[in-house]
Structure 1
Amino acid sequence: MDFLKKGFNGFTIKILALVFMTFDHIAAFMPQTMHIPVWFHWLGRISAPLFTFMVVEGFCHTSNKKKYIARLYVGAIIIAIGNQIINTAFQNPEGSIIMNNIFATLFLVVIYLQAIEFIKKFRTEKEKKYLVRGLLMISVPIILGIVILTLLFSSADKVLMFIMIFVPVPFLVEGGPILIALGIIFYLCRGKKFSLSICYFLMCIFIFVAIAGGDYSLKKSLLENYQWMMIASLPFMLLYNGEKGKSMKYLFYLYYPIHIYILYILGVYLIKI
């Protein structure tokens, strides 16, 4: 087949990830009475790994890493503020709220990738400033995360919630440490398809076992513990041909919050009908 020989460029993979993500969010935000098929969520498991994979590629190819990191951070802050506004203005009778903010996760991914590059630069140039920068970029998010989690268990005042908008931490972002670890794996395995396949497969197994709680039945694996279906992202990664494709870098930045807010608000009104 021609497309197998040609592979997928970055733009195609991002569009596919957008489509899979939309199915997942339809199932997440529509009323429970609509009984959206569970396979909508199955498709959704494919999207986050693909976006993480492509943000790693974007980081490695960009000519201005500082601007790339800053763009993801600004996107994370805007969405965090938007989530607070929408959740307050449109309270869902079923109790669900918008917690989605993949930009915060992707921001931390590139922070750790930049830390790795600083450490690599220290090894080649022997300048301690790069080692210090790298270690700080690795440790500061973790330390801040521990502090915020400690404060959350003791109090959850408005000041702390405000701080959390501007300080993404590994333990609280969408996908958590697992998705950040995947980003690091994608970076370390760039150009090594066999290594990527093995590491990704093992990560999927780890996630399946960790969530299963000892119940590995087919019913639970298909209806509840279906995060392992992220394995379906791997073929798209292996077929990535390294080409950028069409340049529409702001498409995802706009589509992500807009479609979430539309689906959430629509779901709230459908519940009230």
Structure 2
Amino acid sequence: MMEKLAPYRVFTSSSLKLIAVITMLIDHFGATVMSQAILKLPAVKADADLYHNMLILYRLIRYIGRVAFPIYCFLLVEGFIHTHSKMKYLLRLGIFVLISEIPFDYAIYNHWFYPDKQNVFFTLFFGMLVMVLVDRFRNDWLQFLIMAVGVYLGWLFKTDYGARGVFLICTLFLVRYARPIQCLAGALIMQYELTAPLAFVPILLYNGEKGNLKMKYFFYWFYPVHLLLLGLARDIVLFYFG
């Protein structure tokens, strides 16, 4: 199958990252500025047609945004395969777990501290931790236990995408050398999000190359920075128009 798709495998890791970043930005714009500000403006609520149209736009935005997370999970697995230092990779994720939590709480929940939900770097960190430990211990039962604990941690810490998110990472890791099966399994896991399985189309057409972008830390910093800016944008809209 992959041989037949070879001419169409045009997506590099850089292009996948751009897709993930853009769709995540669109999604979070919907979750912050649209949901918490625009849809609550008196002028919008007073006009039934305008409110209806804005609500349709909001839903479309959130549907587009569902594409981002599966791509990030796939890239995490690819990063694990190709990184020179798995522990440095894990440490880097752990650092951005801490950096991102306040911007996440502020933007998504309009609180500086919101313990009932944790940012997506928690999910990626637990997924990476599972992969590091599974790679180190070769006993099948121990590997299964490690993955089960990782999924449980996703649920326990109430991370973004929770247990399902960590489970997706575990699954993509287990079938990492069989791309069609990897995409099928991922699409099945994410079918509870209507448009999320579409993420596996560009993943299927991934060519294994890095691409031309050399902005390694940009994609880490983009997450907390864009959340902080969206939170500020929401507050500005409410202050001037609310």
1:104 matched to which residue of 2? 122
1:42 matched to which residue of 2? 63
1 CA distance for matches of 2:81 and 2:205? Answer: 18
Aligned counterpart in structure 2 of residue 10 of structure 1, from 9, 13, 38: 13
2 CA distance for matches of 1:98 and 1:23? Answer: 24
2 CA distance for matches of 1:203 and 1:74? Answer: 28
Q: 1:63-78 maps to which residues of 2 (within 5 A)?
A: 63-78=84-99
1 CA distance for matches of 2:61 and 2:115? Answer: 19
Q: Which runs of 5+ in 2 are unaligned?
A: 45-53
2:179 matched to which residue of 1? 193
Is the Cα contact below 8 Å between 2:130 and 2:150 reproduced in 1? Answer: no
1:239 matched to which residue of 2? 205
1 CA distance for matches of 2:199 and 2:156? Answer: 22
Q: Residues 236 and 135 from structure 1, CA distance in 2 versus in 1: closer, same or farther, beyond 3 angstroms?
A: closer
Which TM-score applies when normalising by structure 1? 0.68
Q: Number of aligned pairs?
A: 214
Which TM-score applies when normalising by structure 2? 0.76
Is the Cα contact below 8 Å between 1:108 and 1:169 reproduced in 2? Answer: no
2:47 matched to which residue of 1? none
Q: Residues 186 and 139 from structure 1, CA distance in 2 versus in 1: closer, same or farther, beyond 3 angstroms?
A: closer
1 CA distance for matches of 2:168 and 2:184? Answer: 12
Aligned counterpart in structure 2 of residue 180 of structure 1, from 163, 166, 169: 166
Letter in 1 for 2:169: G
2 CA distance for matches of 1:265 and 1:79? Answer: 15
Q: Which runs of 5+ in 1 are unaligned?
A: 124-130, 146-167, 209-226
2:132 matched to which residue of 1? 114
Q: Residues 271 and 100 from structure 1, CA distance in 2 versus in 1: closer, same or farther, beyond 3 angstroms?
A: farther
1:248 matched to which residue of 2? 215
Letter in 2 for 1:242: G
Is the Cα contact below 8 Å between 1:141 and 1:170 reproduced in 2? Answer: no
Q: Residues 248 and 67 from structure 1, CA distance in 2 versus in 1: closer, same or farther, beyond 3 angstroms?
A: same
Q: Residues 24 and 137 from structure 1, CA distance in 2 versus in 1: closer, same or farther, beyond 3 angstroms?
A: same
TM-fit CA distance, 1:72:
0.2
Deviations 1:135-154 (A, max 9, x none): 885576677x5xxxxxxxxx
Letter in 1 for 2:215: M
SS at match of 1:248: coil
